[in-house]
């Protein structure tokens, strides 16, 4: 059985696609077989973040229309052979596909992979239901802004009403220096508000923007940067390991080397 996990949020633009690409690559690095499913049928961008847009020939829509078997639509990652992408269709409206069809697609992938991550549109958009219907687990992404946290709270309710019981939280774009100055809501406060288990904290870091623009998930870079370590840690926590959280404040103070020493012994 595959672990089928939807990456979702209340508010748009909080980093779902970025997290799907990087977390997916981090999971593949652990040696698991993984499929990333782009369920954002309006905005096809998971392929761009993975640098796979040139390799997309068939999409999920072609599979549903019987134009090709699902194996033909799966795009193999050029760097990691155990990672594939099921692309969404380009230039289609978001309701080009219904929840039953989405279930049908995921059923065809189930059991072939250890993990299936579904990149969803935001919780307020159409297409959100498509993404959550086949999922057994969810990762909610929020940024440390009140509006995003409030919308995330609404999504927790929606997921629970769809019988998705296993829900974890990623707080993305954290800026420790702003939290220290009380200019940003803290991760602890977000967890208190949402009452779902925290599985990761990702710093706000321009290297993430640079790497996604290049189509190269930053978890593949050597030596790993601090945001890459954050994604690798999330992958291992998903895998059931207990991994301490990075001290992002120390990172901010440019003590990156100290952390490296602690985690990698160099
Ligand atoms: P969503 O899929 O939720 O709409 P995206 O993954 O497309 O969000 O991210 C929205 C924007 O935020 C992108 O430009 C992305 O590069 C940027 N971004 C996401 N996470 C981070 C981060 N941790 N640090 C800096 N920029 C980020
Ligand atoms: Mg997205």
pLDDT tens digits along 106-119? 999 998 999 999 99
Of all atoms in ligand 1, which is nearest to the CA of residue 18?
A: 6
Residues lining ligand 1, Cβ inside 6 A: 9, 12-18, 172-173, 202, 204-205, 208-209, 212
The rounded distance, in Å, linking the Cα atoms of 179 and 185 is 6
Q: How much is the average pLDDT of 192-202?
A: 96
Cα dihedral: 83, 107, 164, 27 (round 10): -10
Residue 191 C-beta-side C-alpha neighbours within 13 Å:
12
Please check the confidence at residue 163 and state whether its pLDDT lies above 80.
Answer: yes
The rounded distance, in Å, linking the Cα atoms of 242 and 265 is 19
Which one of 8, 10, 15 would you pick to mutate in the ligand 1 pocket, going by the greatest count of ligand atoms within 8 A of its CB?
15
Which one of 119, 170, 176, 209 would you pick to mutate in the ligand 1 pocket, going by the greatest count of ligand atoms within 8 A of its CB?
209
Please check the confidence at residue 148 and state whether its pLDDT lies above 90.
Answer: yes
Question: Does the reported pTM lie above 0.75?
Answer: yes
Q: What are residue 132's phi and psi, to 5 degrees?
A: -90, -25
Of all atoms in ligand 1, which is nearest to the CA of residue 40?
A: 2
Please check the confidence at residue 101 and state whether its pLDDT lies above 60.
Answer: yes
Q: Which residue's CA lies nearest to atom 15 of ligand 1?
A: 209
**% residues pLDDT > 70 (the chain):** 91
């Amino acid at each position: 059985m595959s672990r089928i996990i939807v990456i979702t949020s209340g508010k748009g633009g909080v980093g779902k696609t970025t997290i799907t690409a990087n977390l997916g690559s981090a999971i593949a690095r652990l040696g698991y077989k993984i499929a990333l499913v782009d369920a954002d049928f309006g905005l096809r961008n998971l392929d761009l973040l993975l640098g796979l847009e040139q390799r997309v020939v068939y999409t999920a829509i072609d599979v549903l229309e019987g134009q090709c078997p699902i194996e033909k639509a799966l795009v193999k990652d050029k760097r990691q052979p155990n990672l594939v992408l099921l692309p969404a269709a380009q230039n289609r409206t978001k309701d080009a596909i219904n929840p039953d069809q989405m279930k049908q697609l995921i059923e065809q992938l189930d059991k072939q992979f250890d993990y299936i991550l579904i990149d969803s549109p935001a919780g307020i958009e159409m297409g959100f239901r498509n993404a959550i219907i086949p999922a057994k687990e969810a990762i909610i992404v929020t940024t440390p802004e009140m509006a995003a946290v409030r919308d995330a709270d609404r999504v927790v309710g929606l997921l629970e009403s769809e019988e998705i019981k296993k829900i974890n939280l990623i707080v993305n774009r954290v800026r420790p220096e702003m939290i220290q100055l009380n200019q940003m809501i803290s991760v602890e406060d977000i967890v208190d508000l949402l009452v779902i288990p925290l599985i990761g904290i990702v710093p706000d870091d321009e290297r993430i923007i640079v790497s996604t623009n290049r189509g190269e998930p930053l978890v593949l870079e050597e030596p790993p940067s601090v945001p890459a370590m954050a994604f690798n840690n999330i992958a291992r926590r998903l895998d059931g390991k207990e991994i301490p959280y990075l001290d992002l404040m120390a990172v901010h103070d440019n003590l990156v080397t100290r952390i490296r020493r602690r985690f990698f012994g160099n």
